[in-house]
Structure 1
Amino acid sequence: MNSTRNAFWAMGLCAVLAACGGGGGSSGNGGQTAQSSTPGSGTSNGGNSIDPTLGTGNVLPIRVDNSLAPSGSGYSPNLPVATVTVCLHGTTQCTIVSDVIVDTGSVGLRLTSSALGALASALPQQKDSSGNVLGECYPFADGRYFWGPVATADIKLAGEVASNVPMMIDGTPGGFPAAPSACGVTLADTPSVIGANGILGVANLVEDCPSCTSNASKDIYYSCNTTTGTCTSTAVTASAQIQNPVAVLPQDNNGVIVELPAISAAGQASVDGSLVFGIGTQSNNTFGATSVLGYDASLFISTQYNGQVLAESYVDSGSNGLFFADSSITQCAGGTGWYCPTATQALTATAFGNAGATTPVSMSFMVANANILASTRASAFNNLAGTATSATFDWGLPFFFGRNVYFAIAGRTAPGGTAPYVAF
């Protein structure tokens, strides 16, 4: 997603459940520590036979479970995570980072400084034409934000490598200047605050902020003088921005497929799936969708629900529920933002594209009582839902279970229609 759509949906607790949505948000869970690889133990072009979480070829394993240790009384289900390898360009100096949220609603790799360890200070930082270091402010709706330098690295995803790619280091390694006040309230730079070691954004754009190429006042990218500690909002060329690592792969670079199996309405302790790179580029990523919805330039589709057309809708694996406004559904007590109907609701909506393919698609979904779901402590639910703004329908992770969901990258050729699109 573009940066204006990032949102950690309200982080209140309902029983033991924390909400997160709109671009890889998460609860205050503690993440697992990253692992440093030694030369020869990282991925090669064919994957890694020692650590199955690294994947092989063009398939990166996804797992939805409760491996992230809860912080306090909250926990966050429906977090799809994967393992990525980051290396100093052209070397075997690498770090393997687990528990990275797979997010189809944002663009680019963002990892905490703590997860990268010594590599955080070793990666070369991007500089602007004045010689100042580029930083990024990545705000979320609840006041938390990512902040840190833009650095370049080789990013290994399963058996494929995106070489020398701009990514974000969430934190201030090596004395990087503190965040500007415009960023937000709370710096989210540790697993205990984020609930993961970072975010792997694989949405439908090549770079994360197309409008930032000509707009210096968006408060997203900053030019930072490391001597004075001063950072000023700046425009940034497309190539210097944080890049979608899938778009930089030498092959299989026109999109991704998120594959997750169907699960029981009662929830499931863990779910294993895949993030497949490329659409129609190999025998294992042939296009098999029956519905194609064209995204507009802001990566929105429309959803018609309860007689209203919600023109800022999207499909987002980084949102842990379905998020939409419906005053007829009972909300959980305490202002948590989750829905708690007395009986599970069977509902329907109609989705259609905002560009390109626009054929309406009928969408059926379920909304269960979030407190009852939370009491099971399961890690995956297909019927978890909460409130949203009146213009939005966020088709979060519950939508993905039992589907192969395709995301074609803008400007790339892919079967099924004109990119960018989402298909299933």
Structure 2
Amino acid sequence: MSSMRNTLWAMALCLLLAACGGGGGSSNGGQTAQSSTPGSSGSGNVLAIHVDTSLAPTGAGYAPNLPVTTVTVCVHGTNQCVTVDDVLVDTGSVGLRLAASALGSLTTSLPTQTDSSGNAIGECYAFADGRYFWGPVVSADIKLAGEVASDVPMQIDGATSGFPSTPSGCATGYTLADAPSLIGANGILGVGSLVQDCPGCTTNATNDIYFSCNTSTGICHSTTQSAANQVQNPVAAFAVDNNGVIVKLPAISATGQASVDGSLVFGIGTQSDNTFAATSVLGYDPALTFTTQYSGKSMTESYIDSGSNGLFFVDSSIVPCSGTAGWYCPAATLALSATSTGNAGPATPANMSFMVANENNLARTRASAFDNLAATGLNNTFDWGLPFFFGRNVYFAIAGRTAPGGTAPYVAF
């Protein structure tokens, strides 16, 4: 899921299928997050990823292509911890954000960040699918497989005792997603290619991203936030294996698959299991985008995002589905291709082939994972969502860190 939190990260459309009427036009219907992640969440520098549809609500709702994992959050330096399943793995955002209900009693135990006046810090984090998170910024130890990000800022999404409600100026026109039934998961693990989630917030107090909140009066106002106090990419806070991630998902059948097991590997070129072996490297610009050439169009704000459950791009020649929110329904599966080049670093073209199948036919199977699900998007963007990941190892190097393959930030495959 891409964030629209500041001008340096104005990403394009990325929607959960359930949220935009998948399955022949059915709506979300209010899904309840359930445990679907395998019993083992991984070890060492490898975190298990699982894709299935146990997050879909009973009835008409439908939510394929959701890669989820398990995270453990602890009060810093203690064994007071909560393990949370069904957290969306998202390379299009930065930072850990967990629903208050998923944290249980730990919600009030994690220390809320405060400013120099003693006011609590809240964050308004808007996603490009029209939803936003609002809640306090807290500090915690975040445990992912065998790695630990110690005492780092994260966000609690949703109401916590005594914390003010959403302030004016926060994500005007967006919908508050403050519960698993509205998120489609128990939270989001953002492992995008930045260290902090809002570079522009260090000097700009009018972004309406970070807020200083007087918990006595309930009044919040937009404020600057230092880089160190912003919600952090937990991978960047690891002691080792902190220069990026690799998303590994196996190839799947063109007709879909009931479930898929993969992995999120921490570090690039830091251990024997994360050796750099990509053949294509696309340098990201400061907005974490590259350029995709497709059907005679040059889309300069393109990106690869595990949090987008389809491929999102504009092609008026592809038949749209009847009664759905922009999904494509060609009569026969299309074999298509595009060429992408980095917006920074060497301009070496990368050929990117993909398939587009009939969404209505796919939805009838009620499979969990598809590598050929696509919908219309924004004019200047090609959003390479989860279908692109199947059968590939996709590398995301974090800005400012040294990694083999080129100057970070980059995405490679």
Does TM, normalized by the shorter one, top 0.5? Answer: yes
The secondary structure found in structure 2 opposite 1:201 is: strand
1:12 aligned residue = 20
Match of 2:103 among 111, 116, 127: 116
Q: How far apart are residue 69 of structure 1 and its match?
A: 3.9
Q: Which amino acid in 1 is paired with 2:285?
A: D
Match of 1:267 among 248, 253, 256: 256
Q: How far apart are residue 141 of structure 1 and its match?
A: 3.9
CA contact (8 A) 2:248 2:393 kept: yes
1:317 aligned residue = 306
Q: How far apart are residue 127 of structure 1 and its match?
A: 1.1
Q: 1:256 to 1:387 in 2, by over 3 A?
A: same
Runs of 5+ unmatched residues, structure 1:
20-25, 36-50
CA contact (8 A) 1:255 1:409 kept: yes
Q: In the aligned structure 2, how far is the partner of 1:186 from the partner of 1:295?
A: 29
1:186 aligned residue = 175
CA contact (8 A) 2:97 2:187 kept: yes
1:89 aligned residue = 76
CA contact (8 A) 1:33 1:115 kept: no
Runs of 5+ unmatched residues, structure 2:
none
2:244 aligned residue = 255
Match of 1:151 among 107, 123, 138: 138
Match of 1:175 among 133, 137, 162: 162
Identity of aligned residues (%): 67
Match of 1:291 among 280, 291, 307: 280
Q: How far apart are residue 34 of structure 1 and its match?
A: 11
Q: Which amino acid in 2 is paired with 1:422?
A: V
CA contact (8 A) 1:107 1:207 kept: yes
CA contact (8 A) 1:71 1:192 kept: no
Q: 1:27 to 1:330 in 2, by over 3 A?
A: farther
Q: How far apart are residue 335 of structure 1 and its match?
A: 4.4
Q: In the aligned structure 2, how far is the partner of 1:14 from the partner of 1:210?
A: 35
The secondary structure found in structure 1 opposite 2:402 is: coil
2:188 aligned residue = 199
Q: 1:206 to 1:186 in 2, by over 3 A?
A: same
CA contact (8 A) 1:57 1:158 kept: yes
Q: How far apart are residue 204 of structure 1 and its match?
A: 0.4
Q: In the aligned structure 2, how far is the partner of 1:176 from the partner of 1:203?
A: 28
1:42 aligned residue = none
2:390 aligned residue = 401
The secondary structure found in structure 2 opposite 1:219 is: coil
Q: 1:85 to 1:411 in 2, by over 3 A?
A: same
The secondary structure found in structure 2 opposite 1:365 is: strand
The secondary structure found in structure 2 opposite 1:116 is: helix
Q: 1:18 to 1:312 in 2, by over 3 A?
A: farther
The secondary structure found in structure 1 opposite 2:40 is: helix
CA contact (8 A) 2:153 2:229 kept: yes
2:51 aligned residue = 64
Q: 1:209 to 1:337 in 2, by over 3 A?
A: same
Q: In the aligned structure 2, how far is the partner of 1:389 from the partner of 1:186?
A: 20
Match of 1:348 among 337, 343, 354: 337
Q: In the aligned structure 1, how far is the partner of 2:75 from the partner of 2:224?
A: 26
1:31 aligned residue = 33
Q: How far apart are residue 142 of structure 1 and its match?
A: 4.7
CA contact (8 A) 1:6 1:139 kept: no
Q: Deviations over 1:229-255 (max 9, x none)?
A: 011111111111000000000000000
Q: In the aligned structure 1, how far is the partner of 2:292 from the partner of 2:29?
A: 27
The yes-or-no answer on 1:363 pairing with 2:371 is: no
Give the 5 Å matches for 1:205-220.
Answer: 205-220=194-209
The secondary structure found in structure 2 opposite 1:404 is: strand
Q: Deviations over 1:71-107 (max 9, x none)?
A: 5412110000000000000000000000000000100
Q: In the aligned structure 1, how far is the partner of 2:246 from the partner of 2:20?
A: 32
The secondary structure found in structure 2 opposite 1:29 is: coil
Q: In the aligned structure 1, how far is the partner of 2:36 from the partner of 2:51?
A: 18
Q: In the aligned structure 2, how far is the partner of 1:354 from the partner of 1:14?
A: 33
